[in-house]
Structure 1
C-alpha cells in the first residue's frame, strides 16, 4: 500500500515542474470599450429604462453611467414609455439587474410586429 494520495492537491498538469499554474483570465464577451464615453440605453429587470454616457464597467457587467436620465413609463400601461424623464446624474448599474444594453446612436424604434 502506498503512502501517497493520488487525489487532491499536487496532481495537476504541472506537477513536479515547481511552477504554479496561472489562472486563466476571463475575457468579457461584450466589447464595452467601443461604447465608452458614448450614450447608451439600459433596460433593467422590472422594466425600468435609463439612458446615459458610459464611463466605466467591469467583468460582472456593472456599469457606471454619467448624465443619466430615467425614461418614465405610463402608469396605466407599464409597457409604454412616455415623454417624461427624470434626471439621475451619476449612476452605478448593477450587472445582475441588467437585461439589455444598446447604443443610443444608430438605434431606431419600430412598431411591434407581433402586436395587433
Structure 2
C-alpha cells in the first residue's frame, strides 16, 4: 500500500476557531484561538496569552499572563495541544504515594 504524502499523527481540525492551550519546549505555555496549522504542527493562534512562570520556582506556571496577540508556534517546539475549555488541574496522585512511601521508610529506621 502506498500512502499519499505525509500525514500528521494528530488531527487538529476539530480545534480550529476554538480555544486551545499549548505547552512548548522550554516550559512556556500559551493559550489562544487556533486559526490554522500544518502537517509539521506549526500553529497559528489568535488572541494569544502567555502564562508566566513563578520567579521563585521556574517549573511552576502562575495565573499571571501577558498578551501576545497573533502568534505562530513552530511545530518542533509544540509539546502538547489541549482544548482550553473543560480543562482543570488535578492533584498529582503520585505525589501522595511518594510521601506515603518515604514515611514508611522513615518508620522502619
What interval of TM-score do these two structures reach, taking the shorter chain for normalisation?
0.7 to 0.9
Q: Distance in 2 between matches of 1:42 and 1:110?
A: 18
- Given the alignment of the two structures, is residue 91 of structure 1 paired with residue 75 of structure 2, yes or no? no
TM-score, normalised on structure 2? 0.80
Structure that is richer in helix per residue? 2
Look up the SS of the partner of 1:114 in the other structure: helix
Query: Paired residue for 2:28, among 48, 54, 68?
Result: 48
Root mean square deviation, CA, Å: 1.6
d(CA) in 2 for partners of 1:79, 1:113? 18
Question: What is the CA-CA distance between 1:23 and the residue it aligns to?
Answer: 7.3
Moved over 6 A (4+): none
Q: Choose from 77, 91, 104 the match for 1:111.
A: 91
Q: Among residues 11, 32, 52, which one is paired with 2:12 in the alignment?
A: 32
Aligned residues: 95
- Normalising to structure 1: TM-score of the pair? 0.76
Gaps of 5+ in 2: 100-109
- Higher Cα radius of gyration: 1
> Shift of the alpha carbon at 1:96?
0.3
